[in-house]
């Protein structure tokens, strides 16, 4: 049973052992591994991640809707790093994903968003303004991107113990918006207050590009080794609906009543018919190994260095996986590791196998443990696969000997 539907059950359990369409985000060479299936498809797949660098779930539950005394305000501010709050989210939904043998194809929609706010903004909101103190907001970041990704990958064996695979994906940008420059200041003195700020942005509604994958896999006895480079990309060249805009305001104690007028608040934007800019996706290297202890237990390790892409930061992660089959129709998985820059991760996943169908559910705790976590990842999927029978070696030849 461990080899029958393993690839539609273990995508969140042990990626180094995944085959079929689930091998696409790990290593295309795994499409040619010995335990590959017949026809397989993902009927539905949703993956969502939300994390931040400051606040835990426990703090959110403790302070939401509650009166904040001085101790609570100090606790919140101590959680915020000097460079401010960073909030990041990503959601992926599969539209089409299927494979047969050593060929697989997929189409999915991906949305990402990131917001960064300086610590002074939260200090001002929690404690109010202090006299003669100038509050500055100069490290404001905001970026949102939605794109459609469709491609195909294939692999071939290189002898009895190795394989190589490649993949190509078309990137179709659907929406992009980012803050390109932002700053604001606020100061109060015994006689006057003054505030001023500006925000520049750009957006687009269409673009295109390409991404490419390549990988190798090696197996011997019960061991599996995997190396792949994913999303080596040209970036998305945004050419449709390119627009740039600019907000600004200037107030003081004598002109605050004019905030709604063009004298104190302005918004300008301009369509750029021939405008174009490029955003690049992060490039990921997957280095993995796994060992199948038995048909009901396997272990794995995956290390993932990653470039920053446009507006991002280089990062890496290292995760250990364990998959067990206490019941033939109920595989369970767990993971533990570290993700830069968020911190430690602990995850659990389970699948229910119903004949040729598999329903998977997984959750990952990010940068903490339960209430101290600063983020979470959730995944839900439904898959289908035809059964696979592992090839058996030919029987030993029986020789008849005679003394004559």
CB atoms closer than 10 angstroms to residue 40? 26
Asked if residue 324 lies in contact with residue 296, where contact means CB atoms within 8 angstroms, the answer is yes
Distance CA 254, CA 6 (A): 70
Residue labelled with tokens 């008849």: 400
Helix (H, G, I), strand (E, B) or coil at 215: strand
pLDDT digits (tens), the chain, 404 positions: 444 444 444 455 899 988 888 899 999 999 998 877 678 888 888 999 999 988 888 988 888 877 888 888 899 889 988 888 888 999 988 777 888 889 999 999 999 999 998 888 888 888 877 777 888 777 788 999 999 999 999 999 998 999 999 999 999 999 999 998 888 888 888 777 788 888 899 999 999 999 999 999 999 989 999 999 999 999 999 999 999 998 888 877 666 555 555 566 677 777 787 889 999 999 999 999 999 998 889 999 999 999 988 888 899 999 999 999 898 888 899 999 999 888 899 999 998 888 788 888 999 999 888 888 999 999 998 888 765 434 434 444 444 444 44
Residues near 78 by Cβ (< 8 Å), separated by ≥ 6? none
Asked if residue 287 lies in contact with residue 224, where contact means CB atoms within 8 angstroms, the answer is no
For 289-303, give the DSSP string. Answer: EEEEEETTEEEEEEE
* Closest to 186 in 3D by CA, of 115, 130, 143: 130
Q: How do strand 39-52 and strand 243-252 relate by DSSP bridges?
A: unpaired
Q: What's this model's pTM, rounded to 2 decimal places?
A: 0.85
> Token digits for 332?
């369970």
Let me know the angle formed at the C-alpha of 141 by 136 and 142, rounded to the nearest 5 degrees. Answer: 135
Chain CA centroid to CA 38, Å: 29
Distance CA 341, CA 84 (A): 14
For 329-374, give the DSSP string. Answer: TEEEEEEEEEETTTEEEEEEEEEEEETTEEEEEEEEEESSSGGG-S
> Token digits for 37?
């299936």
Distance CA 309, CA 114 (A): 13
Let me know the angle formed at the C-alpha of 370 by 364 and 371, rounded to the nearest 5 degrees. Answer: 140
Residues near 255 by Cβ (< 8 Å), separated by ≥ 6? 263, 264
Give the model's pLDDT for residue 293. 92
> Token digits for 101?
């043998």
Helix (H, G, I), strand (E, B) or coil at 11: coil
Cα within 13 Å of Cα(327), Cβ side = 7
Asked if residue 143 lies in contact with residue 113, where contact means CB atoms within 8 angstroms, the answer is yes
2.40.160.40, 1.10.357.10, 3.10.20.30, 3.40.50.2300: CATH of 6-385? 2.40.160.40
Distance CA 367, CA 356 (A): 36
* Closest to 280 in 3D by CA, of 325, 228, 233, 315: 233
Distance CA 135, CA 129 (A): 8
């Amino acid at each position: 049973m461990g080899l029958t539907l393993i690839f539609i059950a273990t995508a969140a359990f042990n990626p180094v052992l995944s085959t079929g369409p689930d091998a696409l985000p790990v290593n295309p060479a795994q499409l040619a591994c010995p335990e590959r299936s017949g026809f397989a498809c993902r009927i539905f797949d949703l993956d969502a991640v939300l994390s931040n660098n400051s606040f835990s779930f426990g703090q959110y539950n403790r302070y939401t809707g509650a009166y904040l005394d001085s101790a609570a305000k100090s606790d919140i501010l101590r959680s915020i790093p000097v460079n401010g709050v960073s909030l990041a989210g990503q959601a992926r939904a599969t539209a089409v994903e299927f494979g047969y043998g050593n060929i697989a194809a997929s189409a999915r929609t991906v949305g990402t968003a990131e917001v960064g706010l300086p610590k002074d903004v939260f200090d001002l909101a929690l404690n109010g303004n202090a006299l003669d103190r100038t509050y500055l907001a100069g490290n404001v970041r905001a970026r949102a991107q939605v794109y459609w990704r469709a491609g195909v990958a294939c692999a071939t064996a290189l002898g009895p113990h190795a394989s190589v695979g490649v993949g190509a994906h078309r990137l179709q940008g659907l929406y992009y918006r980012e803050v390109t420059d932002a700053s604001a200041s606020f100061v109060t003195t015994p006689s006057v207050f003054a505030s001023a700020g500006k925000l520049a942005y750009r957006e687009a509604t269409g673009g295109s590009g390409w991404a490419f994958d390549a990988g190798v896999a090696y197996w011997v006895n019960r061991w599996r080794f995997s190396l792949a480079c994913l999303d080596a990309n040209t970036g998305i060249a945004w050419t449709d609906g390119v627009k740039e805009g600019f907000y600004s305001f200037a107030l003081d104690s004598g002109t605050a009543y004019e905030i709604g007028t063009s004298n104190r608040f302005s918004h300008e934007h301009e369509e750029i018919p021939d405008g174009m800019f490029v955003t690049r996706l992060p490039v990921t290297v997957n280095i993995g190994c796994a060992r199948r202890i038995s048909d009901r237990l396997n272990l794995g390790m995956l290390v993932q260095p990653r470039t920053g892409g446009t507006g991002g930061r280089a990062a890496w992660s290292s995760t250990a996986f364990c998959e067990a089959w206490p019941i033939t129709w109920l595989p369970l998985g767990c993971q533990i590791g570290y993700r830069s820059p968020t911190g430690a991760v602990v995850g659990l996943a389970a699948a229910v196998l119903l004949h040729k169908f598999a329903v998977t559910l997984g959750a990952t705790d990010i940068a903490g443990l339960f209430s101290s976590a600063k983020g979470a990842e959730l995944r839900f999927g439904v898959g289908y696969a035809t059964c696979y029978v592992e090839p058996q070696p030919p029987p030993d030849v029986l020789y008849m000997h005679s003394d004559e």
